[in-house]
A and B are shown apart, each in its own frame.
Chain A
Amino acid sequence: KAGVTQTPRYLIKTRGQQVTLSCSPISGHRSVSWYQQTPGQGLQFLFEYFSETQRNKGNFPGRFSGRQFSNSRSEMNVSTLELGDSALYLCASSVRGGLPYGYTFGSGTRLTVV
């Protein structure tokens, strides 16, 4: 069974640009969550989608957005990139919403903003 696939693994972007990250969940998983991981702030929740609906959003500016497609694949977009957006972005999937069995994570996309 294939795991959670995130593409690309690495990205380098310039300040002011926008970026789109992709996540393909495990087959049959309908919930997809996104987390930002930085050395200073640790792991912070961005948003969660289930059946194409955003059910929760973390405390991030509106430059961070996401969506989920009918096949459960998800994308997140960051517009007007800032240096502080440099981070590892992790995607996680679960059957319904993670509890009680937890989430399965991908290997992340390392975004560097220069």
Chain B
Amino acid sequence: AQTVTQSQPEMSVQEAETVTLSCTYDTSENNYYLFWYKQPPSRQMILVIRQEAYKQQNATENRFSVNFQKAAKSFSLKISDSQLGDTAMYFCALGDGGSNYKLTFGKGTLLTVNP
């Protein structure tokens, strides 16, 4: 069974600073994908960044980057130059490359960016 663990229920950061959200996962698959989704109060889940497990290079999308440690099964999200609009719930998600066509989500981290 796949599991995703986010150990930080809540975090806060000052505007313009950097914050890192943690995520660990477990899967028996060799081919899998990892995602970070953001859910603001509008409720819509927005894809922030994705990582393919077979790629060694850490993914980067503008101010968002990941630290993917495959052996440790760790997938943290770093947000640089935090902005007020980054305030949201952040979910780490795991999808295996097989045929079950589903994402397994962590419980989420509520990030608050303070002015």
Question: In this complex, which of B35, B43, B91, B99 has the most chain A Cβ atoms within 10 angstroms of its Cβ?
Answer: B43
The number of chain B residues with a CB under 8 A from chain A is 24
B102 proximity list for chain A (CB < 8 A): 33, 45, 48, 56, 58, 98
> What residues of B have a CB within 8 angstroms of the CB of A31 in the complex?
101
B83 within 8 A of A: no
* A92→B102 CA distance, assembly (Å): 10
Question: Which of B14-22, B65-73, B104-112 interfaces with chain A?
Answer: B104-112
Question: Does A102 contact B47, Cβ atoms closer than 8 Å?
Answer: yes
Contacts between the two chains (Cβ within 8 Å), count? 63
**Chain B contact residues, majority secondary structure:** loop
Question: In the complex where A33-B102, A42-B105, A99-B95 touch, is A107 in contact with B50 (Cβ < 8 A)?
Answer: no
Cross-chain pairs A/B with CB under 8 angstroms, 23 sampled = A3-B44, A33-B102, A35-B103, A42-B107, A42-B108, A43-B103, A45-B103, A48-B102, A50-B101, A56-B100, A56-B102, A58-B102, A98-B102, A99-B95, A100-B52, A100-B97, A102-B47, A102-B50, A103-B103, A104-B47, A105-B44, A105-B46, A106-B44
